[in-house]
Amino acid sequence: MEKVLEISDLHVSFKTYGGEVKAVRGVTFDLYKGEILAIVGESGCGKSVTAQSIMRLIPSPPGRITSGSVLFKGMDLTRLKEPKLRKIRGADISMIFQDPMTALNPTLTIGEQIIEGIMQHKPVTRQQAKKTALDMLDLVGIPNPLERLKHFPHQFSGGMRQRIVIAMALVCQPEVLIADEPTTALDVTIQAQILDLFKEIQKKTGVSIILITHDLGVVAQVANRVVVMYAGKIVEAGSRREIFYRPQHPYTKGLLNSVPRLDLEESELVPIAGSPPDLFSPPAGCPFVARCAYAMEVCDRAYPDKTHLSKEHHVDCWLQDERAIKMRVHVR
Ligand code: SF4
Ligand code: MG
C-alpha cells in the first residue's frame, strides 16, 4: 500500500513554568493512501499534539518538535520553511476541529467564505470558485446549495455547520484530511451521519483521513486501522478487527471495556481506574504500570520493546515479550 505520510520517532515537548511536558514521546506510524486511520486515547495522551505537529500547528513557543520526522511527498514537514508549509496546509493537508464555529467566520456568508478559501489557493475566477463551492456543498450533503451559499453560519444547525467545514477542508482536493474530534460537539444521531459522510467522501475523493478521537464507538464505525496512544506513546496499533477482537495491551482492553458495545449484549461497563502519569517526568518503565492489573516487576524498570503480532498489529507490553514471560513475576 502506498504511504502518504510517514511519521517517525516524533517527540514534542511544551515548556511550562513547572518544567518541560513531554507530550509526544517517540511516535511512529504511516498513513496509507485511501484509508481512515483513527488515533484513540484519553484526553492528554498526545493524540491532538501529534496531529497538530504533522502540520506544525502547535503553538511554538511553548511547544517544540524536539526530534523525529514527518515525511510527505519526499519532504520532511518538520524542517520545511514556513512559506512552503503554508502552501501545503489546506491545499495538500487539511485539518478540521471539534467546534465548527471556530473554523467559520460568523460575519460572512458561507458562500463568501468558501469562495474566498478557494481563490486563496487556486488561480480561478470567482465564477469557477463558485461552481467548486456548489459541488463541494453538494458532496457533503447540503440541500439547495445555491440558496444556502447566501446564508450565515448561525442559520445552520451544528451538524450542517460541520458539513460546511468539511466542504471547506476539501475544496483544494487535499491528499490528507486530519479531523480532531470532529463529532464530539454533536449529538449522537448527527455524529453517526457525519461519520457516514467521512466514509462517503473518502470513497468519492480518495482522500486519506486521520481521525482523532477519545471515542471507540467512532473508531468502530469508520476506521480501517487504529493507533492507540497512552502517555505520549503508541502502545498498540492494528487493523480495526485486530484492535476490537484481539486487543493485547491491557490499556486497549480497558478502553474497550469502558465503552458500550453494540455487538455484545450483556457487556458491563468498567472504567479504567486511576489516571495517566505526569508527563513532566515520565516513568522509565511502562507508563500504564500504576493502572495495570497484570503489572510485573520488569514493567516498573524498563519500557517494553515493540512486539509485532501481524503485519499491522503491534503492541508495547511486557506480557508479549518472551524474555519477560520466562521470568514472569507479578507485582500484584
Ligand atoms: Fe501492564 Fe506491564 Fe504490559 Fe505495562 S508492560 S501494560 S504494566 S503488563
Ligand atoms: Mg484533543
Q: Which ligand is nearest to the CA of 212?
A: 2
For residue 272, give its domain range: 252-332
Would the CB of 250 count as within 6 Å of ligand 1?
yes
Q: Grid coordinates 491528499 are at which residue?
A: 175
pLDDT at 264: 57
Q: Specify if 115 maps to a domain.
A: no
Structural domain count, the chain: 1
Contact of 13 with 23, CB cutoff 8 Å: yes
pLDDT at 271: 80
Measure 332 CA to ligand 2 centroid, in angstroms: 33
Cβ-proximal residues to 35 (8 Å cutoff; 6+ apart), any chain: 1, 208, 209, 224, 225
Atom of ligand 1 nearest to the CA of 320: 3
pLDDT at 97: 84
Would the CB of 319 count as within 6 Å of ligand 1?
yes
Q: Specify if 288 maps to a domain.
A: yes
pLDDT at 18: 85
Q: Specify if 283 maps to a domain.
A: yes
Measure 219 CA to ligand 2 centroid, in angstroms: 15
Measure 291 CA to ligand 1 centroid, in angstroms: 9
**ipTM tops 0.90:** yes
Nearest CA to ligand 1 atom 3: 317
State the cell numbers at 327.
Answer: 521470568
Q: Specify if 118 maps to a domain.
A: no
Contact of 210 with 7, CB cutoff 8 Å: no
Q: What does each of the 332 residues of the chain score in pLDDT, given as a tens digit? A: 899 999 999 999 999 988 999 999 999 999 999 999 999 999 899 999 999 999 999 988 899 999 999 999 999 999 999 999 999 998 899 999 888 788 899 999 999 999 999 998 889 999 999 999 999 999 999 999 999 999 999 999 999 999 999 999 999 899 999 999 999 888 888 999 999 999 999 999 999 999 999 998 889 889 999 999 999 999 999 999 999 999 999 999 999 988 766 555 555 677 888 889 989 888 999 999 999 999 999 999 999 999 999 999 999 999 998 887 666 555 44
Q: Which ligand is nearest to the CA of 305?
A: 1
DSSP of 14-41: EEETTEEEEEEEEEEEEEETT-EEEEE-
